[in-house]
Amino acid sequence: MSEYVKESERSISARMRQALKSFGLPRLIIALFLLLMFVLTPFAGSNLVSQITNVINRFSWNAVLVLAMVPMVHSGCGLNFGLPVGIIAGLLGATCAIEWGFTGPVTFWMAILIATPFALLFGAAYGWLLNKIKGGEMMIATYVGFSVVSFFCMMWLVLPFKKGDIAWGFEGTGLRTTFPLDKYYEGVLSNFLRVQIGRLVIPTGALLFFALLAILIWAFLHTKTGTAMTAVGSNPNFARASGINVDRIRLLSVVMSTWLAAVGILVYEQGFGFVQLYNAPFNMALPAVSAILIGGASANKASITNVIIGTILFQGIVTMTPTVMNGLINLDISEVLRMVVSNGMILYALTRKTEVSR
């Protein structure tokens, strides 16, 4: 009897160790840290419920951008450091929709509609390029993203946008660096079916929209093409041998990622309430990359669960640390902490030998 108990105990501890290993030490530390932040919130003199509301809100803004990582990771194109390519498509959609006179919530759907051809076009070109340079995707994706963003820095100035809300009125040409969306699609998703219980506010619409996209992606990954994509990601040679057109699948995944990024930035803007042009897209790739890694993904494996957990953890840390740190020790090291945590997470993923993305 006692033998038996010991045996099962051992297996439990072994299983726990196994679970811990698969969960990953950095992830555990981050999760514990976030938990600590939640516990400390009341002591820091801020309201726990409003903090949770904050985290849920930030989640609803950013989740789609993180979701945009999934298709490319699945097809073995690695982490999508070229997220800005899709973001630019989304920004084109937003600016064009406003320029062409749409107002109110309908702008959001028009922006998605207008952004789609841009996203398909950019995605196709981007995917074609990534097919040419298999093995070096991540570095090149980074710089393709930068090139596109800096190219569009010029375009925002030169393109003939005229509408006073978004363009510099008196200097003639050029779009503003930031403009508000209150007359357009601010909160179009967040305010839909919004639930408010005391201080707790749940942006149901935005969460539902994310859920819809996530289910679509999940369903897609279980179709024939979707499983082919996973096969390409896990073993391209085997996939090729079994008659899958590897390049076509990879191209498809890049187009999907790019389109999701375009939609993702629009969802972000409807929550944030502002459109940011010029240099802003530079800063968008790394947080999304590290969020999905924190969620348990690696350079060649990512699931919807990773997206959800990662976004909650990452946004949790980003929103909680400033308030808690400020309240407790009057020292705002949150920005520095965010840089160290997010980039440290990416480094951790890049240095794990077993997960080479080729």
For 320, what's the count of Cα atoms within 13 Å in the CB-facing half-sphere? 27
Residues in contact with 302: Cβ distance below 8 Å, sequence separation at least 6, in sequence order: 69, 70, 73, 74, 292
> How many of the chain's residues bind another protein (CB under 8 A)?
44
**Closer CB to another protein, 45 or 135, in the complex:** 135
The footprint of another protein on residues 261-300 (CB under 8 A) is 279, 282-283, 286
Considering only 96-104, 182-190, 229-237, 347-355, which stretch makes contact with another protein by CB under 8 A?
347-355
Minimum Å gap between C-beta 92 and another protein is 17
DSSP state of 223: S
Minimum Å gap between C-beta 270 and another protein is 24
**Closer CB to another protein, 35 or 339, in the complex:** 339
Q: Does 173 bind another protein (CB under 8 A)?
A: yes
The footprint of another protein on residues 109-148 (CB under 8 A) is 129, 132-136, 138-140, 142-144, 146-147
Q: Does 162 bind another protein (CB under 8 A)?
A: no
Single out the residue of 266, 258, 263, 207 nearest to residue 59, CA to CA: 207
C-alpha–C-alpha distance, residues 246 and 54, integer Å: 42
In the set 46, 50, 150, 234, which binds another protein (CB under 8 A)? 150
**Closer CB to another protein, 6 or 132, in the complex:** 132
Look at residue 52 and give its three-state secondary structure: helix
Length of the chain: 358
**Closer CB to another protein, 212 or 339, in the complex:** 339
Single out the residue of 97, 280, 262, 107 nearest to residue 178, CA to CA: 280
In the set 23, 128, 151, 238, which binds another protein (CB under 8 A)? 151
Single out the residue of 133, 140, 36, 43 nearest to residue 82, CA to CA: 140
Helix (H) or strand (E) holding 91: helix 83-99
Q: Are 277 and 157 in contact (CB under 8 A)?
A: no
Binding residues (CB under 8 A) for another protein: these are: 81, 129, 132-136, 138-140, 142-144, 146-147, 150-151, 153-154, 157-158, 173-174, 279, 282-283, 286, 331, 333, 335-340, 343-344, 346-347, 350-351, 353, 356, 358
